Amino acid sequence: MNDLVFDCELLNHVLDGKEITKADAYEIFEVVKDEPSELYGTSTRLRNTHKQKTVTFSKKAFFNLVNLCRDVCSYCTYKSEPNQQKTSMMSKKNVTDLAKLAKKYGCVEALFVTGERPEQKYQEAREWLKENGFSSTVEYLIHASEIALSEGLFPHTNAGNLTKSEMSELKKTNVSMGLMLENSSERLTEENMPHHLAPSKNPRARIQVLENAGEIKLPMTTGLLVGIGETPNEIIDSIFEIKRLDQQYGHIQEVILQNFQPKQDTKMGDFASAEENYFKIIVALTRVIMPQMNIQIPPNLSPDSYQSFLQVGINDWGGISPLTPDYVNPEFSWPKIEYVTKNTENAGYELKARFPVYPEFTHLINSNLYDMMSGIMDECGLVRKECWK
């Protein structure tokens, strides 16, 4: 039996509702890496079966709360040092003002992002928190989330490796949270590798956080960074690790697949960006491995071709802001929502706005938060069109 026949049989098994093994996924990648059309067709059929003709996004404002960070990643320009021009330490007034403005723009999500526990490394962060009446970044996140809620936005927080008790407190004000696994390979933490000086990026630490979130039934977004020096098998292993977490706890609401883009003034500044064919194969394989998962790519990181990813199995564009930049990738502007709408419709799909928590995960959130959401929720658990247009 030749490789192509073997591959087609495996893909047909998935269409019949059967799961593939990790070894199967390795085999599929090797067979399709030069001619992936069969894989793409299967991933599209699976997406259409499980997600129909709806593609979602979250209309958000990006609250760049504190971008000091104890870690050093080889590819990151989000992290700042004290007194740099790009340093962000948002006051309570800043948060309130942005929340009010975001509501006027029809935003639904308040995305709160911070560096990894900056108060552990920087005296400036400790003093700033104390001046604002807080002992930790997490304590301030809770307060900032309350401000956003009071203005009619729904918080989603990305703040690195939080403890179970910290996540439990944030769950009272956040409808979901996020933590990128990035990759499950320990090799990427070795010397001269991208996560060597970023202890919080150790996959065992990240997996523990995701498991803790599962134990408290917190809807979580996670995902992978594609093209940072991993092998195909390592990224397939990482997809299966996310699948394991989802099967064990049922709280992984979304998988983000983010293509690496090199940034100037970083150790990986001369590193090649993720090759698009490779990236698309990984996206399609993720759909084949996890047929019912919500799968997202950020459209701003593939500005010339993002709409083509609708043909390889995605069903979500993630958060798009009409108001604030992508502070993690400031060199890549968000596409205008009307352009995303047009490109989605041209591909045969309908764009709809969602909350930071997907409809199938709202049973996990605080009942008070659900009651607040229900005021602008349609019959499908998404945001009513007149509330975001």
Q: Taking a C-beta distance cutoff of 8 angstroms, is the pair 112, 158 a contact?
A: yes
pLDDT tens digits, residue range 172-199? 999 999 999 999 999 998 888 888 777 8
Q: What is the CATH architecture assignment of 3-387?
A: Alpha-Beta Barrel (3.20)
* pLDDT for position 75: 75
Report the pLDDT value the prediction gives residue 81, as an integer from 0 to 100.
85
Q: Is the pLDDT of residue 1 over 80?
A: no
The SS3 assignment for 18 reads: coil
Q: 324: which residues sit within 8 A by CB, 6+ positions away?
A: 60, 61, 62, 63, 64, 98, 102
Backbone angles phi, psi at 181, to 5 degrees: -65, -40
More confident residue, 4 or 286: 286
Residue 215: pLDDT over 90 = yes
Could you tell me the two tokens for 215?
């134990």
Using pLDDT thresholds of 50, 70 and 90, give the confidence band for residue 4. Answer: low
Mean pLDDT for the stretch of residues 119-141:
91
CA distance 25 to 233: 9
Domain boundaries of the chain, sorted by first residue: 3-387
pLDDT at residue 102 in the model: 98
Across residues 364-386, what is the average pLDDT? 97
Interval 36-64 mean pLDDT? 97
- Reported confidence tier of residue 3, pLDDT bands at 50, 70, 90: low
Q: What is the pTM of this model?
A: 0.94
Q: What Rg value do the Cα atoms of the chain yield, rounded?
A: 20
Q: How distant, in Å, are the alpha carbons of 218, 243, 328, 352 from that of 361?
A: 9, 16, 27, 17
Predicted confidence (pLDDT) per residue in 260-280, tens digit: 888 877 788 888 889 999 999
- Distances from the Cα of 18 to the Cαs of 5, 6, 11, 46, in angstroms? 17, 15, 9, 12
54, 7, 57: which is closest to 288 by C-alpha? 7
User: What pLDDT score was predicted for residue 247?
Assistant: 98
| Of 81, 84, 83, 90, the residue nearest 63 (C-alpha) | 90
Q: Say whether pLDDT at 89 is over 90.
A: no
- At 80, the pLDDT band (50, 70, 90 cuts) reads confident
> What is the chain's mean pLDDT, rounded?
93
pLDDT at 5 over 90: no
Candidate from 47-61, 197-211, 278-292 with smallest mean pLDDT:
197-211
Query: What is the average pLDDT across 360-385?
Result: 97
Secondary structure of residue 178 in the 3-state scheme = strand
Do the Cβ atoms of 88 and 135 come closer than 8 Å? no
pLDDT digits (tens, 9 = 90+) for 336-352: 999 999 999 999 999 99
Weakest-pLDDT range from 124-128, 254-258, 300-304, 351-355: 124-128
